[in-house]
Structure 1
Amino acid sequence: MIVAALLACVAAQPLDAAGGSPGDAAAAPAARPSPAEHRFSFAGVPTATFNTDEGFGTGGVGTMYHQHGGVAPYRDAFTLNVFISSKLVQAHAITWDALRPFDIPGRALVKLGYYSTVSQNYCGVGNEVTCAPGDAVARARALGFADGTAAFEDFVRRYYLMRFIRPYATLLARPWLRDKPWRTELLVGWRGALTIPGELAALAPYPDNRFAEDHPDGEPGFSSVPTLGLIVDDRDAETFPTRGFFFEASGRAAHPWWGGTWTWAGANASGSFFVEMERAPRLVLATRFLADVIVGEPSVEEMARIGGTNDWIAFGGHVLGRGVREHRYLGKLKVIGQAELRAQLYRHDVWGEQLDHGVAVFSDVGWIGYDVADLRGRAVKLLGGVGISYRLLWNETFSVRADLAVSPDEAEGPGFYVIVGQAF
């Protein structure tokens, strides 16, 4: 079940564009290629995962790295993600991540993806939603379902769930305004997503459930969101930073003028800070502070997401609000703090691949309000979760975490997540 076990069984095979042998290259990894040389390598991971929100999942992640021009750790990374879970969540994507694209100092990302679910959570909005099973039972009885029947059980199970199909695209350009120290980047981007309520067999929300009560049509439409912002990055590394900081601030907006169904605007600011506590073993204190605000009338899916370089869902889920079910606490106002104490303890080689094992303890704390004029909850209520984690670094360029988290704000028990990449 743990991705780390699969990582130890899969070797990345460097492929020399000049005609070298993959087997020879893996047995004796070559030095960094000369700036004029094109070199390719591949990292592939079949995944068998579990997390509380999506259930048991399987699929794979494969990345081809292109090295050229002395750009480290790669010039281009082409990644294919395929995922399907026992809760019928599908998440597939093709990503191109480029450093110095077209020899322009900076970074570019193009991502095309497909997401569909029949089991996304929806308990309402604000910081005091309960997701109470008793309310689902009462609603089923009010609609005339007989206790103990299959129809009754299905309705109760689906009462706090959403189903939808969401193909999407993300474009980001990050041209450098200055290099390190304190590398400064302009953030210019756009994300688009088509929301189709229901599933292929029934293009509508679950009848009469909590989401259908608030949005009977299921909120079909197209989200077109341009973004403009600024990034300051002074981290010593990206996969496992040990010192420095990463700051970003941006604004975004949606409007029918540029193809959107909904009209709203948002602003986001976040800062991540890394302090090296010990070098052997590597012990790092990592913290992140984030604020996000939306005005206007976004769809539920856009209201759930933050702005900036990543449109993570908050509060709840595998990144922002671990220990709380994903999509549980929704609002246009979000303030979040995270802290992790990370330790990389043991490093060894398998088939020429370097594996670095570590652990972490962490906490996520958040405040959510529905709207400035209507918080839909208590003004002083904080949400939170704490947890422990196993961390794996593969060749210092690929990371996996297995997080176990609990929260006093979640009655469904601990959250468990096996995820590629750091939380921040």
Structure 2
Amino acid sequence: MLLPVTAVLLASLSASPAARARPAPVKTSGFDAIAIPLVSFSSDQGMGYGAVGGMYLYGAGKEPYAHALSAQVFFSNRGVQSHSLRYDGPRLLGPLRVEGRLDYRRELRSPFFGAGNQSAPEFRGDVNNELYNFDKGTPGFWLRLRGHPFGEEHPLQSYVGYGWRHMRVAAYEKSLLSREKPLGMDGGNMGQLLAGMLWDTRDNESDPREGGVEELSLRISGNATGNRYHYVGLTLSERRYFALTSRLTLAHRMTLDLLFGDVPFYEWSNTGGVNVSEGIGGMNSVRGIERNRFAGNIKAFMNTELRYQAAQFRVFGQPLKLGAVAFMDLGRVWHPGVADGKWWHWHPGVGGGVRFSRRAAVIRMDYAVSTGSGRQRCYVTFGQMF
């Protein structure tokens, strides 16, 4: 969602070594620090602005750094707030990587269209209509331990973690949420036990051209984890990259997310994994469709991109790359007790965009159309979609 305006010029301070073709010499003492403005835009959440800062502390035998701290403050003109403090210790506990984040997110108009693949058939595209919105606030944190069981060069990674947040739900009097009253209307604590495995053979972590990454992740919620609701989530994800020519890359992602048990409505649109997504609909799942337009206990989506590196040039002495992308996204959901339509009833979005990149920093600008409704959406954000 966020776009550091100057990050393309300063990415060398924050790029992970796995994302660099030729890493810089490892520093053994001292620190680096940086602060940059944030600007973003999406048709779903409007114009956003804020700032982010980071600090990297180095130590002997600690690669790529001993500790990293980052902080973010972010607001949008549609009532979104997203503030966070994050820690990363690549070798804090021997070979184990310790990652953690403390955050607060508030949305004055968070979308709710009901459950299922054919929800809210009367919706005509007005995302500001109170009928399809509610307010929420979610302070929380997560902590994760990640490692390579068979050595740093082996593609297998595994992780365990814990996440907690408090969900505050405020439904509008005449909204669809007030009318349907699904499980979770009262909000409450959400504690989850997290675990997963990745098989990562990508040649470049931030902008891959070959290889892929497969992930299996699990999240468990119940009284023992500090959650008032009992449910289990399972996420399977596959990402593949093919270098067709020296400039052309075919990228493909498939994600399947399944929820079982007493699932609160605000979990219907979430997926698990190291990099979580929302959907179906929005800049992280199916572009061109309104954010979280379709939600349910089972979600599946696919993204195919043809990425073309058009040119390289220098700005203020820094090397930049210009790229273009054509894409097609597909997604659908299944939910118990509602009509989801035929098995082939998927929701597609098509479009194109441009990319500006330097090392790990990628600026993404996309234009997309929902071929089902004909509605159009624009996104400006930071990082490849997958």
TM-score (norm 1): 0.80
Q: Deviations over 1:162-196 (max 9, x none)?
A: 11111121222211112466511112122211111
Q: Deviations over 1:212-232 (max 9, x none)?
A: 112288331111111222111
Q: Within 5 A, what are the aligned runs for 1:60-71?
A: 60-68=51-59
C-alpha separation between the residues in 2 aligned to 1:263 and 1:345?
50
Q: Within 5 A, what are the aligned runs for 1:322-337?
A: 322-337=287-302
Whichever residue aligns with residue 409 of structure 1, its letter is G
How far is the alpha carbon of 1:380 from its aligned partner?
2.7
Return closer, same or farther for 1:350/1:127 CA change in 2, 3 Å cut-off: same
Aligned length: 376
1:57 to 48, 67, 71: 48
2:180 to 201, 211, 214: 214
- Counterpart position of 1:24: none
- Given that 1:323 and 1:410 are in contact with CA atoms closer than 8 Å, whether structure 2 keeps it comes out as no
- Does 1:90 pair with 2:53? no
C-alpha separation between the residues in 1 aligned to 2:29 and 2:242?
36
1:405 to 368, 378, 386: 368
Q: Within 5 A, what are the aligned runs for 1:113-128?
A: 113-128=103-118
- Given that 2:354 and 2:365 are in contact with CA atoms closer than 8 Å, whether structure 1 keeps it comes out as yes
* Structure 1: tracts of 5 or more residues without a match: 16-30, 137-155, 199-204
How far is the alpha carbon of 1:52 from its aligned partner?
1.0
- Given that 1:325 and 1:410 are in contact with CA atoms closer than 8 Å, whether structure 2 keeps it comes out as no
* Structure 2: tracts of 5 or more residues without a match: 15-22
- Does 1:32 pair with 2:31? no
2:272 to 291, 303, 307: 307
Return closer, same or farther for 1:230/1:255 CA change in 2, 3 Å cut-off: same
How far is the alpha carbon of 1:291 from its aligned partner?
0.9
- Does 1:41 pair with 2:13? no
Return closer, same or farther for 1:262/1:324 CA change in 2, 3 Å cut-off: same
Cα RMSD of the aligned pairs, angstroms, is 2.9
How far is the alpha carbon of 1:134 from its aligned partner?
7.8
- Does 1:164 pair with 2:127? no
Q: Within 5 A, what are the aligned runs for 1:299-378?
A: 299-371=264-336, 374=338, 376-378=340-342
- Given that 1:168 and 1:192 are in contact with CA atoms closer than 8 Å, whether structure 2 keeps it comes out as yes
- Given that 1:242 and 1:284 are in contact with CA atoms closer than 8 Å, whether structure 2 keeps it comes out as yes
- Counterpart position of 2:20: none
How far is the alpha carbon of 1:343 from its aligned partner?
2.2
More helix by share: 1
- Counterpart position of 2:346: 382
Return closer, same or farther for 1:321/1:237 CA change in 2, 3 Å cut-off: same
Q: Within 5 A, what are the aligned runs for 1:65-144?
A: 65-68=56-59, 76-104=67-95, 106-130=96-120, 132-133=122-123
- Counterpart position of 2:198: 231
- Given that 2:350 and 2:371 are in contact with CA atoms closer than 8 Å, whether structure 1 keeps it comes out as no
Q: Which has the higher contact order (CA 8 A, sep 6+)?
A: 2
SS of 2:266's partner is helix
SS of 1:237's partner is coil
C-alpha separation between the residues in 1 aligned to 2:121 and 2:3?
31
Q: Deviations over 1:17-40 (max 9, x none)?
A: xxxxxxxxxxxxxx93456x2253
How far is the alpha carbon of 1:404 from its aligned partner?
1.2
How far is the alpha carbon of 1:320 from its aligned partner?
0.7
- Given that 1:125 and 1:376 are in contact with CA atoms closer than 8 Å, whether structure 2 keeps it comes out as no
2:251 to 276, 280, 286: 286
C-alpha separation between the residues in 2 aligned to 1:314 and 1:227?
20
How far is the alpha carbon of 1:234 from its aligned partner?
1.0
How far is the alpha carbon of 1:393 from its aligned partner?
1.8
- Counterpart position of 1:194: 166
Kindly, what percent of the aligned residue pairs are identical?
26
C-alpha separation between the residues in 2 aligned to 1:251 and 1:393?
33
Q: Deviations over 1:236-267 (max 9, x none)?
A: 11111111111110222111122101111121
C-alpha separation between the residues in 2 aligned to 1:13 and 1:318?
26
- Given that 2:9 and 2:318 are in contact with CA atoms closer than 8 Å, whether structure 1 keeps it comes out as no
C-alpha separation between the residues in 2 aligned to 1:14 and 1:250?
30
Whichever residue aligns with residue 144 of structure 2, its letter is L
Relative to structure 2, which stretch is displaced further, 47-56 or 181-190?
Answer: 181-190
C-alpha separation between the residues in 1 aligned to 2:61 and 2:329?
38
Whichever residue aligns with residue 123 of structure 1, its letter is F
- Counterpart position of 1:262: 229
- Counterpart position of 1:19: none
Return closer, same or farther for 1:110/1:3 CA change in 2, 3 Å cut-off: closer
How far is the alpha carbon of 1:131 from its aligned partner?
5.4
